[in-house]
Chains A and B, each alone.
Chain A
Amino acid sequence: MRQSLTAVIERNTPAAGEFKTEPYEVGWASEARWFLRLNTIPEDRPRIEYVTQISPDGLVWCDLDGSGYESTGEALISASVQEFGNWLRIRGTIDGVSASTKLTIYLALKS
């Protein structure tokens, strides 16, 4: 049976502005998928831009080619990541949301 693990990388944290997630080790996994969920209010029209970052050591980071993602008006977005090495994080920007809007980021992994 394959291994799987879903990590909540950010949980219900204020969503507006720029963000970078904590480093997360994924060397055991061959599949990875981000889920970004916003707890929006009716006035929100969220715009999200993010890119997956990879690292050889969890200390220095670069963008993963072709992993940029943009979305407008969606409360839940998801994208997979391939050939990522041992570490993953994302950096991104969220605007068009109220101060009370919160962001939750899941990282779903499979061996």
Chain B
Amino acid sequence: MTSSNLRNEGPRRASPPTTSDDLRLAIIAADPKLSRFNPLPRILALDEFNSGTHGWTELIGNHDGTGDLNVVDDHMRDFRPPQLSSCTFFDVGTHGAMSGTYALKIATRPITGHTAVAIRRLTMADRGLVQIEAYFTYKTEAASEENQAASQPGAGAWDANIHPSEKQFGAFTFATDICDADGVRYHTVARYQNTNLDREFTRQWMYPVVPEPTPREHFENKVHLEYAADFTAPNPDDWRPFGNPQSLCYNEVPTKVNWHYLRWQIDTRLRRNVELQVNDRIYDMREIPVPVYTEHYESLENLLNFYVSARTHTSVRNFMFLDTVLISVDW
């Protein structure tokens, strides 16, 4: 597993170059909305949140035939509705997003362990490379008399560089939920852990070694998780680091928004990760294991879901912002 500096080589070629490839790359390079991305040959979705939520919605656990929400798993019943945010703050007013005024905001409650999740639901027309790219940032909620964030766990001293709120951001996660036509289901997961559960900086990319507990496993009494459990993999011991720690640009205070580039590629033919790029780092993820559910699932034929989550490790709201997401494939 390695990380390395990146030299931007532009959109990647799937095969030896042809005139049509050159034309495609030239068109991408000339389009202001696309030239900041490196898409695979077919673009499935270009989600610029200045024009709406583009199908990114709140994740929820399953309910029964009567629509009884009391049967929804406790840890999957409150993932919060995403917001179209103008990135407005107490000090400067509206900051705005990268591509316009609005970004998608995924906001936790101020409850230790609470996770907010937005999900995008697609299906697969073939197998092969799948890539999600995003411009994102992450913030904690600024302190106020009502939220008392400055005195909540994780807040440290202010030295005019590192802000106390930075240690109050827990983790954000990019992940998938995929099911082959034969019912084989798995998740690929890339989590940025800003702080550990003791609210110490780790700034470490992580992956889980177990598949996410499902509502069916709860229904069959195989698992029961409490509210605010880590739904992706509830046991902290089931998370492993990959690559070297990576510092991101929180930019000193909770009200300055700097957008980061992320590109994460997986291979659905091989059911594995390929690589993760975050700004100037590329992490080779080919050897990272992808746990597969031992039981098969129906009703999920060719499932291809992407989710993005934020998780707070203290009693302060954590925010994940997405300016734009691009999903592309090589089929």
Contacts and interface: CB of A to CB of B under 8 A. Distances in A.
A28 B90 contact: no
B247 interface: no
Interface in B207-234: none
Given A3-B52, A11-B69, A102-B69, A22 B102 contact: no
A28 B146 contact: no
A25 B83 contact: yes
A59 B84 contact: no
B70 interface: yes
A56 interface: yes
Interface string A70-96: 000000000000000011000000000
Given A12-B69, A57-B89, A25 B105 contact: yes
Contacts of B299: none
B73 interface: no
A46 to B, nearest CB: 18
A7 interface: yes
A17 interface: no
Contacts of A102: 69-70
Interface of A: 3, 5, 7-9, 11-12, 22-25, 27-28, 56-61, 86-87, 102, 104
B90 A57 contact: yes
B109 interface: yes
B88 A7 contact: no
A59 B81 contact: no
Interface of B: 52-53, 58, 60, 69-70, 72, 77-78, 80-81, 83-86, 88-90, 94, 101-102, 105, 107, 109, 141-142, 144-147
Contact of A7 (B83, B94, B142): B83
B86 A28 contact: yes
Contact of A59 (B78, B85, B90, B109): B90
A27 B89 CA distance: 13
A22 B77 contact: no
Contacts of A5: 52-53, 84
Contacts of A8: 58, 81
Contacts of A9: 81
Given A22-B107, A59-B144, A86 B86 contact: yes
Given A3-B52, A11-B69, A12-B77, A27 B88 contact: yes
Contact of A58 (B52, B60, B72, B88): B88
Contact of B145 (A7, A60, A86): A60
Max chain B CB contacts within 10 Å: which of A5, A12, A59?
A: A59
Contacts of B70: 12, 102
Contacts of B83: 7, 24-25
A60 B81 contact: no
30 contacts: A5-B52, A7-B81, A7-B83, A8-B81, A9-B81, A11-B60, A11-B77, A11-B78, A12-B70, A12-B77, A22-B80, A24-B81, A25-B84, A25-B88, A27-B84, A27-B94, A27-B101, A28-B102, A56-B90, A57-B89, A58-B88, A58-B90, A59-B90, A59-B141, A59-B146, A86-B86, A87-B88, A102-B69, A102-B70, A104-B69
